[in-house]
Amino acid sequence: MLDIKFLRENPDIVKQNIRNKFQDEKIPMVDKVIELDEMRRSMQQEADDLRNRKNVLSKQIGALMKEGKKEEAEAAKAEVAKDAERLAELEGVEGPVSEQIQKIMYTIPNIIDPSVPIGKDDSENVEVEKFGEPVVPDFEIPYHTQIMESFDGIDLDAAGRVAGNGFYYLMGDIARLHSSVISYARDFMIDRGFTYCVPPFMIRSNVVTGVMSFAEMDAMMYKIEGEDLYLIGTSEHSMIGKFIDQIVDEETLPRTLTSYSPCFRKEKGAHGIEERGVYRIHQFEKQEMIVVCKPEDSPMWFNKLWQNTVDLFRSLDIPVRTIECCSGDLADLKVKSYDVEAWSPRQKKYFEVGSCSNLGDAQARRLKIRVNGKDGRYFAHTLNNTVVAPPRMLIAFLENNLNADGSVNIPKVLQPYMGGTEKLIPQK
């Protein structure tokens, strides 16, 4: 969410930013919110004047009563009563106007970083850098569920009977591989100085609206019927929410946390949810990283975060690349975002396995996460990034470590988590 003072003083910048995000239908919102803000400030000023006038009249009434000027005192009381009626009227209008302003401000997109490429959608995202040499072996690589099935490692049919499409049972070596990757990612981030955390898997509505846009909320979140609770779509939601309404001492920054959680997503409007696979699903597990820092440090932390993911995937012998999201592909709260994509030898192309985002002070402003600095208080900057999210990550792992005989190599860094196993041997 933007600072309304910034919007008031820089309406043309805000409008151009909206154009850069190809959301021209939101441009009239800028003038509307300025109009409503002027109305609110005018009402607030009148309300303050009435409260001051009440204090003055109250003192006058006391003095007049002492002097025995009852008639004049009664006239002053009538003025106080009249002002009280007007004050109640103003307060009754000010609340709805403030709510309308907030709703619009929640809809106007954040100002993107000047380095973000201008583009309409993800087809105009820009490749930044490749890491590792993508290889296509001289044998055919099966679809990822076929690889898993060769190890008796997945049962989609049973999951369909139990929960419907978009769910899965992982079993045996594949389930152990899944858990091993999560455990390795946890220790990988701890070794890089991040504090490990297991957060709540449900959050209240005020946290939901603090960490994401209304459009994202509608497309992603599962609501708990009869409760003010939502299942998290990623642990970033509850991890950033941890700091809601907090004043953080500047000396304690940055706060660097890595968290494990299951994730639940409606995937509303997503293509492929009916496909026989685990690329886009309603439930998965994830290791995440978040940073709460000073504004001047957020660009540096952004680069550190995406590099962590690249380093983890390279340690597992998986080639990756970074893609910068163009303006039209950025969610409204984001200032800048990179996707990390892994190489798929079967498809002969890269696919997304993680996303790194700098949200500036947008989430902190919504959640009131403030920093107590030597020069006064200010809003923190927040960032998040995927460490690893199996089972999607397992697709890249299995394809890139598959041998011609159907066995799968286990990289050295992962072997301790797999009981020393160096290679998985198919059962079918």
Q: State the helix-helix crossing angle for 392-400 and 172-191, rounded to 10 degrees.
A: 100
| Strand-pair partners of 349 | 344
Contacts of residue 66, defined as CB under 8 A and 6 or more positions apart, other chains included, come to: none
What pLDDT is attached to residue 208?
95
Q: What's the CA dihedral at 112, 114, 116, 121 to 10 degrees?
A: 60
Average pLDDT (401-424) is: 97
Query: Roughly how many angstroms between the first and final C-alpha of the chain, as a whole number?
Result: 54
- pLDDT of 14 > 60? The answer is yes
Classify residue 146 by burial, with Cβ atoms within 10 Å: 0-12, 13-18, 19+: middle
Q: Which range is least confidently modeled, 1-15, 49-63, 178-192, 240-254?
A: 49-63
Residue 388, SS3?
strand
* 8 Å CB contact between 342 and 134: no
Contacts of residue 134, defined as CB under 8 A and 6 or more positions apart, other chains included, come to: 319, 343, 345, 350
User: What are the structural domains of the chain?
Assistant: 4-107 (1.10.287.40), 122-424 (3.30.930.10)
> Alpha helices, DSSP H only, in 281-344?
298-315
Q: Which residue has the tokens 């000027």?
A: 69
* Helix, strand, coil fractions of the chain, as percent rounded to 5: 45, 20, 30
Nearest to 317 by CA among 404, 412, 407: 412
Average pLDDT (260-288) is: 80
Condensed to tens digits (0 to 9), the pLDDT of residues 64-88 reads 888 888 888 888 888 889 988 899 9
Give the separation between CA 108 and CA 27, rounded to whole angstroms.
9
Condensed to tens digits (0 to 9), the pLDDT of residues 343-391 reads 999 999 999 999 999 999 999 999 999 999 999 999 999 999 999 999 8
Give the separation between CA 125 and CA 160, rounded to whole angstroms.
35
Condensed to tens digits (0 to 9), the pLDDT of residues 149-167 reads 999 999 999 999 999 988 9
